[in-house]
Amino acid sequence: MFTGIIEAVGNIAGIEERSGDMRLYVRTGALDLTDVRLGDSIATNGVCLTAVELPGDGFVADVSRETLTHTRFPDLALGERVNLEKAMMPSSRLGGHIVTGHVDGLGEIMERREDARSIRFSVRAPANLQRYLAAKGSVTVDGISLTVNALDGDCFELNIVPHTAQETIMSEYQPGRRVHLEVDIIARYLERLLGQAQATDNNEQESQGLTMETLMAHGFNR
């Protein structure tokens, strides 16, 4: 598990194709690796990767075909900067929100504009993820825990303060860039639980998903 609070920015130091999948070498920059062991997880642009080698200045990880299919990792380039976060410890503060490191889909930066010292982004979300997004709710973008400012059709709005821009790779984002999205896990479980309750109530075999009527029926909207 992760918090979505980026600990360091690293870069891609090696890309090796291996029988249809990939092995990545990530230099981790200022990330403290003294407590990292083989088999530990490090979120890389929001993707949970397992360290299989620790050369001293970073880590090496195998990337499966499943991960390559659902992320923009096939487009990675040597030297590209990436957001890094080590797995959460039991004693860690949950400064962001609960993040699993399992990418739900790819979004696209549609607009970027300066707003005083902040940067505002409009990000288009895939149709199957839009129902999990809510104004002032949480979303993870390339591993960064962020608050959704507003919803506008198939897009959601983000306000990036100077600290976030400085400590992550978001300052590099321009329209057209694809980004990893992970929606709030609580919203996913809530949908499933309420969907099962609705199916039971209606003696149905399939869940109907999360609707306003379902929320109201179970006391979540008054």
Looking at residue 61, which CATH number applies to its domain?
2.40.30.20
In contact, 95 and 17? CB cutoff 8 Å: no
Confidence at residue 92, expressed as pLDDT on a 0 to 100 scale? 66
Q: Which tokens sit at 57?
A: 């200045």
Q: Is residue 92 assigned to a domain?
A: no
Contacts of 89 (CB under 8 A, 6+ apart): none
Both 178 and 202 in a single domain? no
Structure confidence at residue 213 as a pLDDT band (50, 70, 90)? low
Q: Considering the chain, what percentage of its residues have pLDDT values greater than 70?
A: 86
Confidence at residue 196, expressed as pLDDT on a 0 to 100 scale? 65
Amino acid at 2: F
Both 149 and 194 in a single domain? no
Q: Is residue 19 assigned to a domain?
A: yes
Confidence at residue 127, expressed as pLDDT on a 0 to 100 scale? 96
Confidence at residue 205, expressed as pLDDT on a 0 to 100 scale? 46
pLDDT of residue 215 exceeding 80, the answer is: no
Confidence at residue 218, expressed as pLDDT on a 0 to 100 scale? 56
Angle 193-102-29 (CA atoms, 0-180°, nearest 5)? 145
Q: Is residue 95 assigned to a domain?
A: no
pLDDT of residue 183 exceeding 80, the answer is: yes
Structure confidence at residue 203 as a pLDDT band (50, 70, 90)? low
Higher pLDDT, 217 or 192: 192
In contact, 122 and 152? CB cutoff 8 Å: yes
Higher pLDDT, 219 or 173: 173
Give the chain's domain count. 3
pLDDT of residue 174 exceeding 50, the answer is: yes
Please give the residue range of the domain that contains residue 171.
105-183
Both 61 and 123 in a single domain? no
d(CA 100, CA 117): 31
If you average pLDDT over residues 82-89, what whole number do you get?
A: 93
Half-sphere exposure in the Cβ direction for 180 (13 Å, CA): 31
**Could you give phi then psi for residue 196, rounded to 5 degrees?**
-65, -40
Structure confidence at residue 96 as a pLDDT band (50, 70, 90)? confident
Give the Cβ contact number of residue 60 at 10 Å. 19
Average pLDDT, the chain: 90
If you average pLDDT over residues 66-84, what whole number do you get?
A: 97
In contact, 8 and 31? CB cutoff 8 Å: yes
Both 140 and 81 in a single domain? no
The continuous run of DSSP H or E covering 106 comes out as strand 105-115
d(CA 45, CA 8): 11
Residue 23 to residues 30, 52, 176, Cα–Cα distance (Å): 22, 10, 26
Q: Is residue 14 assigned to a domain?
A: yes
Query: Tell me: the pLDDT tens digits for 102-159?
Result: 999 999 999 999 999 999 999 999 999 999 999 999 999 999 999 999 999 999 999 9
Both 76 and 17 in a single domain? yes
Confidence at residue 63, expressed as pLDDT on a 0 to 100 scale? 97
Structure confidence at residue 185 as a pLDDT band (50, 70, 90)? confident
If you average pLDDT over residues 48-66, what whole number do you get?
A: 97
Confidence at residue 212, expressed as pLDDT on a 0 to 100 scale? 59
d(CA 206, CA 83): 39
